[in-house]
Amino acid sequence: MMRERRPRGFEVSLKHLRAANSVAVYGSFTAAAADLGMTQSAVSRLVLQLERQLGVSLFLRSTRNVILTAPGREFTASIQRLLADLGAQVDNARALGEQIKGRLIVSCLLSLTHHVVPEAVLKYRKAHPGVEIHLREGLGSQVYEDVRSGFADFGVGNVTALGHEVVSDDVVQESCFAILPSRHPLRDKSTLSLRELRNEAFVSLPTGSGLRQQIDSVATANGIVLKHSTIVEQFGTLYDFVGANVGISIVPASALPPRAPRGVVVKRLVSPPLVRKIGILRLKNRPLTPAATGFLDIFRPLFLSASRR
């Protein structure tokens, strides 16, 4: 029996495994070659390479027949299970690929559409080009209503005060940060308190925004009145205005780009810290479509990473 020293590592391909399996099934290199559409010498070479990798002989060869050795019986039985499992997974993947077509409607807070959702959409489109994605950007109340009414496949929004028909998954508590013009007098401070910002002109979201309401609520609870001097509808505009020295702002972690935009510095807010709870919203009694499940598989890790930044 072959007892060669095993090489470092183990390098075999599906061709090696299929060759050994076919020889085991047919008991002949000639029949295996016909089954695989290869020459007999090619099948013999693949089996020999596999045996050298394993360091054992899988077959006893003679001029009349081929017999499995004890290690050969064990190993080829494992090969058959592996190839069967692989075939099933290939069939499942093809079936899933055929299912993931049509239209996907996602309702999402404005903060997430700034950079997290675009990254997820880009990856999803490469994997499932047959799906049309409809993204609805809105405030927390709009996201909730889109999900509650069944219009959206799922939403990403605030998880407070949800009705019984809507449930939340992957709930996170994300910190909020102050963003300042890069030449602002407070730019060199490592952290900022809300009280230090009370006399600043703010670039803010509308009063209907859950984030705006939370900021005002925390400020009021601490005897602080903030100056909401400029109101914008989008986070991209908000960053542009801060960078243009129109004012300062407060944004959640999920709205922070990987790198601060030009002309803007980011500072952690402390005393009191501002934390909001958001999650993935869906109808309790309606299963997600394959298109929605596929998108969430891509979106979820990006969302969790961004919210914990």
Angle at 266 between CA 262 and CA 268, to 5 degrees: 175
Give the span between the Cα atoms of 223 and 204, in whole angstroms.
19
Q: What is the model's pLDDT at position 96?
A: 61
In this predicted structure, the answer to whether residue 284 has a pLDDT above a threshold of 50 is yes
Q: What is the model's pLDDT at position 9?
A: 58
Q: What is the model's pLDDT at position 99?
A: 54
Q: What is the model's pLDDT at position 176?
A: 93
Q: CA nearest 218: which of 266, 191, 250?
A: 250
- 62-75 pLDDT per residue, tens: 877 888 999 989 99
Q: What is the model's pLDDT at position 7?
A: 47
Angle at 135 between CA 282 and CA 165, to 5 degrees: 15
- 127-173 pLDDT per residue, tens: 888 889 999 998 888 999 999 988 999 999 988 878 889 999 988 89
Secondary structure class of 261 (helix, strand, coil) = coil
Percent of the chain at pLDDT > 90 equals: 50
Q: Quick one: DSSP state of residue 301?
A: H
Q: Which residues of 103-120 are buried (b: 16+ CB within 10 A; e: fewer)?
A: ebbbbbbbbbbbbbbeeb
Give the span between the Cα atoms of 24 and 64, in whole angstroms.
15
Angle at 166 between CA 165 and CA 167, to 5 degrees: 125
Q: CA nearest 283: which of 292, 274, 275?
A: 292
- 32-90 pLDDT per residue, tens: 889 899 999 999 999 999 999 889 999 998 877 888 999 989 998 888 888 887 877 77
Secondary structure class of 282 (helix, strand, coil) = strand
In this predicted structure, the answer to whether residue 117 has a pLDDT above a threshold of 70 is yes
What is the set of domains in the chain, with CATH numbers? 14-97 (1.10.10.10), 102-307 (3.40.190.290)
